[in-house]
Amino acid sequence: MKLAVNSRGTLVKLKEGFEELGHEVVENVWDHLRFRDEGIDALIFEFPTIFNKKYQSVPLMWHLKRMGIPVIAWNVDAPWHMKRLNAFRLPPLFLLRLISIYATHSLQNTSWIKGVKVLYLPNAAWTRHYNLDGHTIEELQHKHDYRYDVSFIGNLSSDRFPEHRARSHFLKELGKFLKEKGLSYHFVDSFRLNQPLPVSVQIAIIQNSRINLSCTAAADSTGVKSWGMSERSFGVPACGGFLLSEERVHLKDSFDLGSEVATYHDLEDCKRKILYYLEHEEERKQIMVNAHWRVMREHTYLNRARTLGSAIEETRRERTKSMGPGALTPWPE
C-alpha cells in the first residue's frame, strides 16, 4: 500500500513500522488530487491534527470519502482530547463518517461512536531508540549494582503543563517517603532546558534503577483516570527495566498482571509495593524479563503498523464490495 500520514511528526514511529513492512509512506499530503495522481491508498491522521488544521482537514476528508479512500485517525491521548474538544466538533466527524477507522489507545468513552470502525491501538515501544543498548536481557537479569532504588523519567514541568500537577504532587510526596526510608531515587524531567533528555541517558537511568515508575498521565487531567497506557509502559520493559505502574484498565489487554507487570492503586499502595519489590529481587527480575519478551513479541510499532495495516486493507475491501466496480476511482472534478 501507499499511505499518507498527516501529523506534527509524532507518527514517525508508525511510519517506520509501515516502511519496515514494505509499504510506501508520504507525509503531510493535503491536496486530494495527489491521492488520485500518486495512487495513495489511505490517509492516517494524528487525531488532534484534524482540529488544529480543520480548514484543510475537513475538506480533504470530504473529498477522500467521495473518492472511496479510507481516512484513519489515531488518538494516543484519549480521553483527554475527547474531553477538550467541544460537542459541536466531534459528533459531525463520526456521524458524517468522514473517518473510516478511529484508532485509539483507549476504548474509554467510545461506546457512543456509531458507523465508524473503532480499533484499539495502544502505544508501543519505539525499539529503534528504546532497546537494550548493547546489553542482553540475561545480563540485566543478573545485574546487582544499581545506582537508584526508584526512578521516574517524564514531564515534570507542572508550571508550563498544568496537566502534570498531579504527577508532580505524587512524586513530591513519594520522595519524602523514600528519603525517610534511606532509599535512593531519581525523578528527572524528560524535557530540560527546552531539549529532550537524550535517549542514551534515559536508557542508562532505566537500567540502573531497581524500580522504574509510571505515575499519572496528561489524559488523567480531565478528572477521570484514563484507561490507556503511555509509551513508558512499553519502553521501560523494552530497555530491560522493571516497571511499577499505576493501575490502568487496559494493562490487562497487553500484559499478564502480576507475572509481566506490577501495579499499585494509590500513593500508599505504591509505597508498599516499592518496599515489597525491593525485598523480592528474584520476583522483580522475573517480571522484568517476562515483560521484555512480551513487548518484543507483541508491542512494538511494527506490531501496531501490522494491526492497522490489516484494518485498512479490510476497510478497502469492504468499500470496494459495497460501492461496486470503480469504488476507488476519484470522484470527477
pTM score of the predicted model: 0.90
Question: 119 in helix, strand or coil?
Answer: strand
Position 252 pLDDT exceeds 50: yes
pLDDT greater than 80 at residue 194: no
Residues 6+ apart with CB under 8 A from 178: 149, 150, 184, 185, 274
pLDDT of 138 reads 97
Q: What is the mean pLDDT of residues 22-26?
A: 97
- pLDDT band for position 83 (cuts 50, 70, 90): low
Mean pLDDT of 309-333: 69
Q: Percentage of the chain with pLDDT > 90?
A: 70
Q: Which domains does the chain have, with CATH numbers?
A: 2-124+300-323 (3.40.50.2300), 137-298 (3.40.50.2000)
- Tell me: the pLDDT tens digits for 38-70? 999 999 999 888 888 989 999 999 999 999 999
Output Rg (C-alpha) for the chain, integer angstroms: 22
Structure confidence at residue 51 (pLDDT): 84
- Provide the percentage of residues in the chain whose pLDDT is more than 70: 89
HEC letters along 125-170:
ECCCCCCCCCCCHHHHHCCCCCCEEEEEEECCCCCCCHHHHHHHHH
Looking at residue 236, its pLDDT comes to 98
Q: How many CB atoms lie within 10 A of CB 162?
A: 11
Nearest Cα residue to 40 out of 20, 69, 14: 69
Q: What are the cell numbers at 152?
A: 521516574
Residue type at 313 in one-letter notation: E
φ, ψ of residue 125 to 5 degrees: the values are: -90, 130
pLDDT-derived band at 85 (thresholds 50, 70, 90) equals low
- CA atoms of 215 and 213, how far apart (whole Å): 6
State yes or no: pLDDT of 330 exceeds 50. no
| Residue type for position 64 | L
pLDDT at 158 over 70: no
pLDDT of residue 323: 62
Confidence (pLDDT) at 47: 87
Q: How many alpha carbons fall within 13 Å on the CB side of residue 183?
A: 21
Asked whether residue 165 carries a pLDDT value surpassing 90, the answer given is no
Contact (Cβ atoms closer than 8 angstroms) between residue 49 and residue 7: yes
